[in-house]
Amino acid sequence: MLSKRNLQLDDRGELHHLLAIEGLPKRIIERILDTAESFVGVNEREVKVVPLLRGKSIFNLFFENSTRTRTTFEIAAKRLSADVVSLDVARSSTSKGETILDTVANLTAMHADMFVVRHSESGAPWLIAQHAAPHVHVINAGDGRHEHPTQGLLDVFTIRRHKPDFTRLTVAIVGDILHSRVARSQIHALTTLGVPEIRLVGPRTLVPPELARLGARIYTSLDEALVGVDVITMLRLQNERMNGALIPSASEYFACYGLTPKRLALAKPDAIVLHPGPMNRGVEIDSAVADGRQSVILQQVTYGIAIRMAVMAMLAGAAR
Ligand code: CP
């Protein structure tokens, strides 16, 4: 039985769906991070497979494009020995008018155990979770501008591997925060884990002032915001979600908000740089930073496999 209070947890307080970081208890976030830690070792072995989800069927439903998330979910499921089907949405019967709930009902009739859902509409994974059969688990792989919880988890996992004490960190999140589900999930994760200072940086048109209610400080000057920070997350301009011009031009944006080596020097000398990808080099980030020694961008991708293995194993009750 699921609690009416929180669709994500069952009556025993265990994770049943992963739909958002907002509302997720700290103990669950920490358990996901600790479980992922054990899977990092599995991913470094020659034989990278464990039998935890043998016999389970996992369906990837990506109604929006993806490189990292879709691929790492697929790899993670295979490394847990699950059967994985990545639905080719463009060639599926959704193009004939079948609703998302009918698609899910038909796949459930094929004995689906888990759905990984990416959709341009905020709330689509919640809708599926509300109508899912009791044994079925739903993971949000990014819904509109709402949340991208496994990205938020892999971000804090990457940060923790470099800087284990969240209560001593200052984190800057820079760029198109308005349209960023990654920013929302990361802010909720950082806040829940006790990060005392989160700086949100960007032009006024791209930083919603209401995010200050989460305890974040808003900056319009990147140079001011970077002084003394431990962690910098750079975000892509999400032109596909913008209605009208919210910035003058890509070159002016880079001049004001692009992370260059000179600007990075304003942060602490051991500061790390994250980016969820895909990157637009020369728009939000200089290649010298993206490929530099302080970048952990490709580590985020690698750790994404361990985080997604941990989430799927916990949902299936296999990580206890
Ligand atoms: N970080 C991320 O969601 O990347 P993809 O869109 O490639 O999955």
| DSSP 8-class letter at 216 | P
Handedness of CA 280, 281, 282, 288 (dihedral sign): positive
pTM: 0.96
Assess whether 132 and 179 both reside in one domain: no
d(CA 59, CA 106): 12
The pLDDT of 201-223, averaged and rounded, is 93
Assess whether 197 and 101 both reside in one domain: no
Query: What integer pLDDT is reported at residue 235 of this predicted model?
Result: 97
Residue nearest to atom 3 of ligand 1 (CA): 69
Query: What integer pLDDT is reported at residue 140 of this predicted model?
Result: 98
In a domain? residue 188 = yes
Assess whether 38 and 175 both reside in one domain: no
Confidence of residue 238 (pLDDT cuts 50, 70, 90): confident
Residue nearest to atom 6 of ligand 1 (CA): 66
Assess whether 119 and 217 both reside in one domain: no
Whether the predicted pLDDT of 39 surpasses 90: yes
d(CA 74, CA 308): 9
Query: What integer pLDDT is reported at residue 214 of this predicted model?
Result: 83
Query: What integer pLDDT is reported at residue 38 of this predicted model?
Result: 95
Confidence of residue 243 (pLDDT cuts 50, 70, 90): low
Give the pLDDT confidence of 158-168 residue by residue, as tens digits.
999 999 999 99
In a domain? residue 21 = no
d(CA 104, CA 147): 21
The pLDDT of 254-263, averaged and rounded, is 97
CA 183 to ligand 1 center in whole angstroms: 13
Provide the 3-class DSSP secondary structure of residue 42. helix
d(CA 27, CA 91): 41
Query: What integer pLDDT is reported at residue 3 of this predicted model?
Result: 46
In a domain? residue 266 = yes
d(CA 227, CA 32): 31
276 close to ligand 1 (CB < 6 Angstrom): yes
Give one word for 37, left, alpha or beta, with left for phi > 0 and alpha for psi -120 to 50: alpha
Whether the predicted pLDDT of 308 surpasses 50: yes
Q: What one-character-per-residue DSSP string does 50-117 give?
A: --TTTT-EEEEEESS--SHHHHHHHHHHHHTT-EEEEE-GGGSGGGGT--HHHHHHHHHTTT--EEEE
**Which CATH number fits the domain that encloses residue 311?**
3.40.50.1370
142 close to ligand 1 (CB < 6 Angstrom): yes
Query: What integer pLDDT is reported at residue 245 of this predicted model?
Result: 65
Number of domains making up the chain: 2
Taking alpha carbons only, the member of 31, 101, 47, 100 closest to residue 315 is 31
Q: Best substitution site from 61, 63, 68 to test ligand 1's pocket, by max atoms within 8 Å of Cβ?
A: 68
Confidence of residue 41 (pLDDT cuts 50, 70, 90): very high
Query: What integer pLDDT is reported at residue 318 of this predicted model?
Result: 78
By residue range, what is the domain housing residue 248? 149-300
Widest Cα–Cα separation across the chain? 57
Other CB atoms within 10 A of residue 42 CB: 17
CA 151 to ligand 1 center in whole angstroms: 8
Better-predicted residue by pLDDT, 75 or 243: 75
Query: What integer pLDDT is reported at residue 249 of this predicted model?
Result: 84
Whether the predicted pLDDT of 2 surpasses 80: no
Query: What integer pLDDT is reported at residue 248 of this predicted model?
Result: 74
pLDDT-above-70 percentage for the chain: 97
In a domain? residue 164 = yes
Confidence of residue 68 (pLDDT cuts 50, 70, 90): very high
| DSSP 8-class letter at 217 | E
Q: Are 231 and 297 in contact (CB under 8 A)?
A: no
**What mean pLDDT value characterizes the chain?**
94
68 close to ligand 1 (CB < 6 Angstrom): yes
Assess whether 279 and 240 both reside in one domain: yes
The pLDDT of 90-117, averaged and rounded, is 96
Whether the predicted pLDDT of 265 surpasses 90: yes
Q: Token match 């971000």: residue?
A: 155
Assess whether 195 and 68 both reside in one domain: no
Handedness of CA 64, 180, 237, 228 (dihedral sign): negative
d(CA 144, CA 239): 13
In a domain? residue 89 = yes
In a domain? residue 6 = no
Lowest mean pLDDT among 60-64, 93-97, 208-212, 316-320: 316-320
| Inter-helix orientation angle 149-162/26-44, to 10° | 70
Assess whether 212 and 294 both reside in one domain: yes
d(CA 125, CA 25): 20
Query: What integer pLDDT is reported at residue 141 of this predicted model?
Result: 98
